[in-house]
Amino acid sequence: MMTDSIAGLTAVVTGAGSGIGLEIARMFAAEGCRVVAADLDPSACDGIPGVRTVTADLGTPSGAALVAEAAADAGILVNNVAVAPYRESFAAIDDAAWQRTWDINVMSCVRLCRAVIPRMAARGGGSVVNIGSEGARHPKPYLVDYAVTKAALLVLAKALSMEFGPAGVRVNTVAPGPTRTSTMETFLGSLSRDLGIDVDAAADHFVHTMRHLPLGRMNEPADVAAVVRFLAGPASRQVTGAEYTVNAGSTASV
Ligand SMILES: NC(=O)c1ccc[n+]([C@@H]2O[C@H](COP(=O)([O-])OP(=O)(O)OC[C@H]3O[C@@H](n4cnc5c(N)ncnc54)[C@H](O)[C@@H]3O)[C@@H](O)[C@H]2O)c1
């Protein structure tokens, strides 16, 4: 019978300082991985047994290199870091703003994959999980640059899965829908002020009236981490180039 252990593997998680990344780092460490947790501010990971933090700006080549160096023997790579700046209008996003979103959301993944995947391949394989977004397939104008980067990650994962599948490296995408992290809490705070209701009522309004989520609740970070965990481990050994949605059924199309 196949076991699904990831114990003893080195797992790199980017954007591990909060939200979904923090939950993934905790989950992997609890299962016996040596976790390399990278973030501008990874202090939330301090003291978690099995987690080593790396402070790095993942939007820069030197930041990505620092993380790659700390993870020479990675068997699992989770590209989770992203920014999703709210945009008032397309015309107001200048080249520098586009470039910064691109550098953090896409180039961090490109650079880490380039450093880590060949080494995984040389050791017989590994698993890469990129965190996408429902925004890649259902773009919102106020998150246009974010949505473009998340669509790009889908293409990247597919191409990498084809090139490195023969070497045993799998590359998949987990695409979350609305998830209760600090970004979502900020949004719910604004919504509650706009509607003159408390935050719980705003969350309810968002789930039932604005988004019509069939499962009637938003994701918790652990809901996303659980699917990442599946794709990281040997139970998903026949899965590559795939996109798994974790969105309470928000995708109303086939
Ligand atoms: N929360 C949601 O509703 C939602 C929905 C769809 C997709 N996602 C995706 O899930 C992933 C995690 O989202 P989250 O809500 O947990 O995010 P979050 O904002 O809670 O955490 C992101 C982390 O990335 C770090 N970070 C930002 N810029 C960085 C940089 N330049 N270098 C290093 N670290 C940096 C931040 O410090 C933070 O700890 C992202 O890829 C996001 O696009 C989230």
Structure-block tokens of residue 74: 């990675």
Atom of ligand 1 nearest to the CA of 79: 41
What's the confidence (pLDDT) of residue 208? 97
What's the confidence (pLDDT) of residue 202? 97
3-class secondary-structure state, position 127: strand
Rg (CA), the chain: 18
Q: Ligand 1 centre and the CA of 81: distance in Å?
A: 5
What's the confidence (pLDDT) of residue 36? 98
Q: Are 189 and 199 in contact (CB under 8 A)?
A: yes
Choose the residue to mutate in 100, 179, 185 for probing ligand 1, maximizing ligand atoms within 8 Å of C-beta: 179
Residues with Cβ < 8 Å from 113, sequence gap 6 or more?
77, 79, 128, 156, 160, 171
Q: Compute the distance between CA of residue 225 and CA of residue 181 in angstroms, rounded to an integer.
A: 13
At residue 2, does pLDDT exceed 90?
A: no
What's the confidence (pLDDT) of residue 235? 98
Q: Ligand 1 centre and the CA of 2: distance in Å?
A: 33
Q: Whose CA is nearest to atom 2 of ligand 1?
A: 179
Is the CB of residue 62 below 6 angstroms from any atom belonging to ligand 1? no
CATH code, residues 10-178+220-246:
3.40.50.720
Structure-block tokens of residue 38: 């990278």
Atom of ligand 1 nearest to the CA of 44: 39
What's the confidence (pLDDT) of residue 252? 87
The residues annotated with a catalytic role in the active site are 146
**Averaged pLDDT of the chain:** 97
Other beta carbons within 10 angstroms of residue 226's beta carbon come to: 16
What's the confidence (pLDDT) of residue 1? 73
Atom of ligand 1 nearest to the CA of 131: 41
Q: Are 61 and 111 in contact (CB under 8 A)?
A: yes
- pTM of the prediction? 0.98
Q: Whose CA is nearest to atom 40 of ligand 1?
A: 82
Q: Ligand 1 centre and the CA of 182: distance in Å?
A: 9
Q: Ligand 1 centre and the CA of 124: distance in Å?
A: 30
| Residue whose structure tokens are 């959301």 | 105
pLDDT digits (tens, 9 = 90+) for 82-120: 999 999 999 999 999 999 999 999 999 999 999 999 999
Residues with Cβ < 8 Å from 12, sequence gap 6 or more?
35, 36, 38, 67, 70, 71, 74, 76, 77, 78, 112, 116
Structure-block tokens of residue 237: 């050994």
Is the CB of residue 42 below 6 angstroms from any atom belonging to ligand 1? no
